[in-house]
Amino acid sequence: MSDTAAVPPRLHRFTPQALLGASGVLWFSIAAAGQWLFAYYIIGAYVPRTATGEFERWNETGLIDGYAQGDLIGNLGFISHVLLAAFVSVSGVMQLLPIVRRRFPTFHRWNGRAYMSVAVFLAVGGILLVWVRGTRMNDLAALGTTIDGLLILVTAGFTLRHAIARRIDQHRRWAMRLFVVVNGVWFVRVGYMAWAIASGGAGMSRSLNGPADILMPYAAFLVPLVLLEFYMRARDSRSSGFKLAVTGAIALGAGITALGLFGAWMMMWSPNIAY
């Protein structure tokens, strides 16, 4: 009799592999909800102000001014960048849902093409906004945003390359990496609020030049990327201990994400929605 057959059926739900998968589903569920809340915030904060021609009120929605009088090209670049961020927030979640891939393959393909195209546009546009238009708080933090933008270009290239070659497993792995780096700005906001709540704002300042302010734009995409790599390696590993360790790390990450999401919604997003 095999070892698998000797295990009661109910216990299969609690194998290291099953627990690892459950931790991934937990984190993704929290992140997906957060992505859609972020999209709702963008639409609610910017669309009414734009539709009524109150462009100067873009500057009420965050620490970085989006509107500059007389800068038509820069203003158009800013608002297109912001509104397209809402699209990738919704599109990216749908792209990773297994049910969408299985039941609506045509939509998955076209949505993927649109998602990658917009992601590349946002990466290039974001770098230009930061260094050409000067839409940044400080240079060190802006460098982190720039690295994230370059990683978007790299991961999008590999995601497309493996899709064309029909290497589906590699395509999915790179698509998950792309999802992480595309949402670097989202992770920054969630990370800021999680750290602010947990530490009482240690290392942070109103001008965003404290140690935590400087490190967050780097940690916001590097930490999720590292966790994702561990998660993918743990799924392929035969070590139960490694699977359980990564399960704990992912579960902790899910809790931190939920905490930061709560803070971001309560203090950064919902107050700026123009009801």
Look at residue 106 in the predicted model and tell me its pLDDT: 95
The answer as to whether 1 is a domain residue is: no
Average of per-residue pLDDT across 138-155: 89
Q: What is the pLDDT of residues 52-70, one digit of tens each?
A: 887 877 777 765 667 677 7
Q: What percent of the chain lies above the pLDDT cut of 70?
A: 91
Q: Residue 11: pLDDT band by 50, 70, 90 thresholds?
A: very low
pLDDT for position 258:
97
16 located within any domain = no
* Residue 12 in domain: no
pLDDT digits (tens, 9 = 90+) for 94-130: 999 999 989 999 999 999 999 999 999 999 988 888 8
The chain-wide mean pLDDT, for the chain, equals 87
Task: Tell me if 194 is assigned to some domain.
Answer: yes
Alpha carbon distances (Å) from 192 to 36, 160, 188, 215, 256: 19, 32, 6, 10, 11
Separation of alpha carbons 182 and 118, rounded Å: 10
Closest Cα partner for 77 from 150, 135, 143, 156? 135
- This prediction has a pTM of 0.87
**Would you say residue 10 has pLDDT above 60?**
no
Q: How many domains does the chain have?
A: 1
Q: What is the pLDDT of residue 275?
A: 60
pLDDT confidence of residue 4: 39
CA distance 83 to 70: 21
Residue 156 is assigned to a structural domain of this protein: yes
Tell me the per-residue pLDDT of 174-184, one tens digit each, with 9 for 90 and over: 999 999 999 99
Give the pLDDT band (50/70/90) at residue 227. very high
Query: Considering the domain boundaries, does residue 123 fall inside one?
Result: yes
Domain span at residue 244? 29-272
User: Is residue 5 domain-resident?
Assistant: no
Average pLDDT, stretch 237-260?
96
**In whole angstroms, what is the distance from residue 205 CA to residue 49 CA?**
29
Q: What per-residue confidence (pLDDT) applies to 3?
A: 41
How far does the chain reach from its first CA to its final CA, in angstroms?
Answer: 64
Task: Indicate whether 213 belongs to any domain.
Answer: yes
